Amino acid sequence: MTLAVRGVSWVFAYLGVVIAPLVFAAIGAGEPHHGFWTNFSVALAFTGLAMMGLEFALVARFRSVAAPFGQDGLLQFHRQIGLAGLAFVGVHVAISTRWHAVPTSAALRAPALVWFGVAAAAAVVVLVVTSVWRRWLRLSYELWHVAHTVLAVVAVACALVHVYLINEHPGLASYVGTLWKQLLWGLMSAAFISLLGWVRVIRPLARRGRPWRLERVGRERGQTTTLVLTPPPGEPFRFDPGQFAWFTFGRSPFSLTPHPFSFSSSAERNEVEIAVRALGDFTSRIGELAPGTKVYVDGPHGVFSIDADEGPGFCFIAGGVGITGLLSMLRTMADRADVRPAILIYANRDWENAAFRDELGRLQERMTLSVVHVLERPPANWPGEAGYVTRDILSRHLPPGYRRLQFFICGPAPMMDAAQNALLDLGVPGERVHTERFTMV
């Protein structure tokens, strides 16, 4: 099946799951006392709940789901659906409190149905607020991630209980009352629990018996550390150059917060390398890891690869540590004796911190590669490009017929946005511009 067909199938499957509870609730729910607003409110809640349940599937790292859309695309969608879910829940709560108001004095004696609904809605609000304003709230990624997971489970679990309790409410029972409607909700709940079990228990359990080994640790320029890893004996590992994986170093495979890193080595070699820049608490200590450390690897993931988007030649645009996946593509091309032309525009703060610059020089001797360094703070008498990656810099260095190349961009978000816009401005078709963002939240 082609990626496009797979993508369309997933979209239909998604819409099917979102709409199914709505259709089921609508059939036979036309009791006269319900009225438009009650029906509307229930419709929003059912759709919102299905969307929230599917949020887990979007970030469950299923390769077949991510393949047509890319990990970035799925994450963007996950964020937008989170906001839409909040809006659906908000309107549902507003309508329900307007039409089925519980006086404040009786709030404590409100039925369990109300309490589970309130708990689900509150969890969704906190979930969205802490995600949108994580940095402003100064939440570390690890704390945010654990809280996000727990709140999401609480929200969906409480919402499901809220739905089951509707059955005990004489005015509303017809929305979920019949056997086949209960079967549907039972199926949805089972799917949700199985998904959780699969992602948090079965997959880590499978990884536990197959740890990787950290072989060597090497220092690079720009506070970057190269880690050389070997897969479990007898399990050769294949990845496409440019892909990434989730890594857990020296901790349990059940650890909630693994870290994503792109492979930096050639996809044609047996040893696997990643290169990590010290940017925070975890990455600053990664150089202290001792050879022999057990590593758990969930991957490969991603579609940011010359193997996924073939072309007559390639233009790579890297900013800082964004070089890692692009370096993997270049190393792989050199090992494959790929003669297609490649140009690398490589932006760094200064010359000293340009990681792998010596190796890039050597790669130019093994393949048709030109490297353009762009330095934010160039040394005196620097003959090359200075400042940021701009439309002017790109148009100075792109070869004739550049619109037919495949473009791969990875680096800090502002650089990526600027480079992407400049390329579109220069007439490069959007489908030839591929990006990988290192910041998920």
Ligand X SMILES: Cc1cc2nc3c(=O)[nH]c(=O)nc-3n(C[C@H](O)[C@H](O)[C@H](O)COP(=O)(O)OP(=O)(O)OC[C@H]3O[C@@H](n4cnc5c(N)ncnc54)[C@H](O)[C@@H]3O)c2cc1C
| Residue of the chain from 90, 232, 260, 313 that contacts ligand X (CB under 6 A) | 260
- C-alpha–C-alpha distance, residues 214 and 274, integer Å: 11
**Considering CB under 6 A, how many residues would be counted as binding ligand X?**
24
Piece of 196-204, 255-263, 327-335, 350-358 that binds ligand X (CB under 6 A): 255-263
Give the CB-nearest residue to ligand X: 280
Is 415 strand, coil or helix?
Answer: helix
- C-alpha–C-alpha distance, residues 319 and 348, integer Å: 6
Q: How far is the CB of 4 from ligand X (least distance, A)?
A: 23
277 lies in the binding site for ligand X (CB under 6 A): yes
Tokens found for residue 395? 């148009």
Piece of 183-191, 254-262, 358-366, 384-392 that binds ligand X (CB under 6 A): 254-262
Q: How far is the CB of 105 from ligand X (least distance, A)?
A: 45
321 lies in the binding site for ligand X (CB under 6 A): yes
Contacts to ligand X from residues 106-145, by CB under 6 A: 140-141
Piece of 20-28, 160-168, 269-277, 374-382 that binds ligand X (CB under 6 A): 269-277
Q: How far is the CB of 45 from ligand X (least distance, A)?
A: 31
What is the residue whose two structure tokens read 């908000």?
Answer: 90
- C-alpha–C-alpha distance, residues 87 and 190, integer Å: 26
Is 63 strand, coil or helix?
Answer: helix
Residue 369 parent element (H or E): strand 369-375
73 lies in the binding site for ligand X (CB under 6 A): no
Q: How far is the CB of 304 from ligand X (least distance, A)?
A: 8
Cross-strand bridge partners of residue 318: 346, 410
Piece of 156-164, 279-287, 335-343, 374-382 that binds ligand X (CB under 6 A): 279-287
244 lies in the binding site for ligand X (CB under 6 A): yes
Piece of 43-51, 124-132, 281-289, 291-299 that binds ligand X (CB under 6 A): 281-289
Q: What is the DSSP string of 146-199?
A: HHHHHHHHHHHHHHHHHHHHHTTSTTTGGGT-SHHHHHHHHHHHHHHHHHHHII
> CA nearest 230: which of 274, 262, 260?
274
Give phi and psi for 238, each to the nearest 5: -115, 140
**Buried/exposed code over 32-48 (b: 16+ C-beta within 10 A; e: otherwise):** eebeeebbebbbbbbbb
Structure-derived torsion over alpha carbons of residues 22, 26, 28, 30, reported in degrees to the nearest 10: 150
Q: How far is the CB of 127 from ligand X (least distance, A)?
A: 17
Nearer Cβ to ligand X (141/212): 141
413 lies in the binding site for ligand X (CB under 6 A): no
Q: What is the DSSP letter of 201?
A: I
| Residue of the chain from 40, 115, 282, 351 that contacts ligand X (CB under 6 A) | 282
Chain centroid to CA 5: 22
389 lies in the binding site for ligand X (CB under 6 A): no
Q: How far is the CB of 245 from ligand X (least distance, A)?
A: 9
Binding site for ligand X (CB under 6 A): 140-141, 244, 257, 259-262, 274-277, 279-283, 321, 324, 436, 438-441
